[in-house]
Chains A and B, each alone.
Chain A
Amino acid sequence: MTASATLLEIRGAAKSFGGVQALDGVDLHLGTGEVLGVIGPNGSGKTTLFNLLTGVVRASGGTARLAGANLLDLKPWEISALGVARTFQNIRLALGQSVLQNVLVGAYRQNRTSWWQVLLAPHTVAVRETQAVEKAMEALRFVAPALAAAPDRIVGELPYADRRRIELARAVVGNPRILLIDEPAAGMNPHETAEIADDILRIAARGMSILVIEHKMKFIATVAPRIAVLNFGRKIAEGSYEQIRTDPHVLASYLGRKGDHLAASGDR
């Protein structure tokens, strides 16, 4: 247990795809207002963990408790209602739509109206729509001030780094309790990587609890005080950057043969 209250408690999360054990009983906990980094080589089960937590993929076992509910039993939209938002490793935006329209998708939960209201109470609907736009613009100004200046630009015409920021803004707009960020620095140059790290730290400073997946060690060291390492669907280490950097299991999984040698000599 950390000093802050535990918000999300994952126990024995497991998922197998046929014979492949993508996740094999992972335990993690996330405190209120904490940033937890999750790293691991390709195929170690990081994204599968996110997919379980957001209900996109059904778990084979385990629990993930948030506010008394077990996320692993719920549908994606029910999980969203509990205040969990995420971004995706392969950016999922509507490319033909404007920046603002994409961010507005994230504001759906607070500002939706019924189909009947759209027909019979256009005024209520217009008020809600305006509120949604205000919220979306606020999130956009917070996460990506440069994009907030031109919210009508079409996403398909924007560079990759901007699309990442739009996804981040879309996830933040609903003011979630937990933000899951999947490989935010993938495909970015060092300068852009540093910028996105700043964005995440800024979001964290607002008191949002964040779970972030990343490959790049330096990046994760910048944003996350506590890091968990996954390999072959298991948690092999957890701790500060300094702790995991010298952990023999981590070295073994990241550096291969030489690491194996180190791990062997370090273990026994």
Chain B
Amino acid sequence: MPRPGFVVLSILAGFAVLALFLRKAEGWILATVVAAIVVGVAVPASRQATRQGLAMLQGYPRAATAACVIGAILLPIFLQNDGYWIHVLSIAMIFAIMAIGLNVHLGEIGLVNLGYAGLFAVGAYASTLLSQAGAPFWLATLFAMAVCWTTGGLLGVCSIRTSGDYFALVTLGFGLIVQQLIINLTWLTQGNNGITNIPAVTALGHSSKMPIDLGFIRLVPETNFFYLCLIALSGSLLLARHYQKVWIGRMWTALRQDAIGVSCFGLDVPRFKILTVAFGSMFAGLAGSLFAHEIGFISPDDFTLLHSVEVLASVILGGIGNLFGVTVGAIILSVAPEKLRFLGDYRLLMYGAMLVVLLIYRPLGLLPDPRRRFESF
């Protein structure tokens, strides 16, 4: 078999196995699979295998990308129209969009942002308020992205004199401020009660509450958002990759390693940092808008410090700087708690233990960024 064909088939098979795993693996089967994955990661040979596997995928980038897209499109069918898992995966993709945005801060210019959920909240509320005023979904989303871009820019302006760990403190404060504002500005946000009845997304007479009727199969209503999130995630990946590939990506890497050096070659470092923070924050607007419309209800509890830390964890777990890695990391971290439900009260304990084990054996994440070989983070 030609190797591109092998790549495509193995990726499609991967999606099918993933669907089977999500729907069917329960109890001891699941525990065995999870244990096998954890042990597999810890075995040194697996690192080599991961590298070889990735090298093969990178050898045929078009085939691999096409297979991923087809696999993702077919996933609702692989999942046999199971609304619950389709919904979980939609949320996972929203989470992945956030991870891509945070990766611009953390991965590209090394700024630890502990308030990303605050930006996510700004996006969700901005979109919801405009949507409730009657604006269509796409307009509300663009508005949310613009608001988040501006908010991120202001955050950058306020913290431009700080760097490294101090940026973490500024953003930590920002996240807490946003949450308090949501709770207290009741006239705008309805405080702790949250906003209910966020309108469904409609386009060309089709509403996101209706099933997708393809004639031979009726896909459950959750599929609407699954595809919307898939489009948004693909767009986010393309956008981030596009900026990585031109001078901006080059300057990100150079700046992260040596701010003085790049400033001597003409880069206005403060301005560039502000624009980068704004750019990374914009993704929170997209994610927030999708989240609000998918769930149909938002409250301050959706945007706590814990949510910021989860996004941060998914970037670190997936592989800082590697777009594919952070996407995978975000999806694993949002699906894992659902699969670990059988553990009952020990669920979060296992979740934490998994993170610790993974990071001991993979300090640069599951899929490390090749640009970071000579960096210590």
Q: What is the interface of chain A, defined by CB distance below 8 A to chain B?
A: 54-56, 75-77, 79-81, 85-86, 88, 92-97, 101-102, 104-106, 108-109, 111-113, 115, 118-119, 122, 125, 128-129, 132, 154, 156, 170, 174
Contacts and interface: CB of A to CB of B under 8 A. Distances in A.
A239 to B, nearest CB: 30
A154 B253 CA distance: 14
B250, B266, B279, most chain A CB atoms within 10 A: B266
Given A76-B263, A77-B268, A154 B251 contact: no
Nearest to A92: B261
Given A97-B250, A115-B248, 6 more contacts: A77-B267, A79-B264, A95-B374, A96-B371, A97-B371, A154-B374
B375 A105 contact: no
B247 A174 contact: no
Majority secondary structure of chain B interface residues (helix, strand, loop or mixed):
helix
Contacts of B239: 119
A76 B260 contact: yes
B258 interface: yes
Contacts, number: 101
A80 B264 contact: yes
Contacts of B265: 80, 85, 105-106, 108-109, 170, 174
Nearest to A125: B246
Given A97-B371, A115-B279, A129-B246, A56 B253 contact: no
B254 A94 contact: yes
Contact of A104 (B242, B250, B261, B370): B250
Contacts of B246: 113, 118, 125, 129
A156 B376 CA distance: 13
Interface residues of B, number: 30
Contacts of A101: 250, 253
Contact of A105 (B250, B275, B370, B371): B250
Contact of B373 (A104, A105, A115, A156): A156
Interface string B227-248: 0000000000001001100111
Contacts of A106: 265
A121 to B, nearest CB: 11
Interface in B342-374: 370-374
A118 B254 contact: no
B207 interface: no
B266 A154 contact: no
Nearest to A118: B246
B336 interface: no
A88 B246 CA distance: 25
B370 to A, nearest CB: 7
B257 A80 contact: no
A94 B258 contact: yes
A118 B250 contact: no
Given A113-B247, A156-B374, A92 B266 contact: no
A47 B258 CA distance: 17
A149 B250 CA distance: 21
A96, A102, A109, A125, most chain B CB atoms within 10 A: A96
26 contacts: A56-B264, A75-B268, A76-B260, A76-B269, A77-B268, A79-B264, A80-B265, A93-B261, A94-B253, A96-B257, A96-B375, A101-B250, A101-B253, A102-B254, A105-B261, A108-B250, A108-B251, A108-B265, A108-B266, A109-B266, A113-B246, A115-B279, A128-B247, A129-B246, A132-B247, A154-B374
A56 B263 CA distance: 8
Contacts of B41: none
B41 to A, nearest CB: 23
B266 A81 contact: yes
Contacts of B279: 115
Contact of A118 (B242, B263, B375): B242
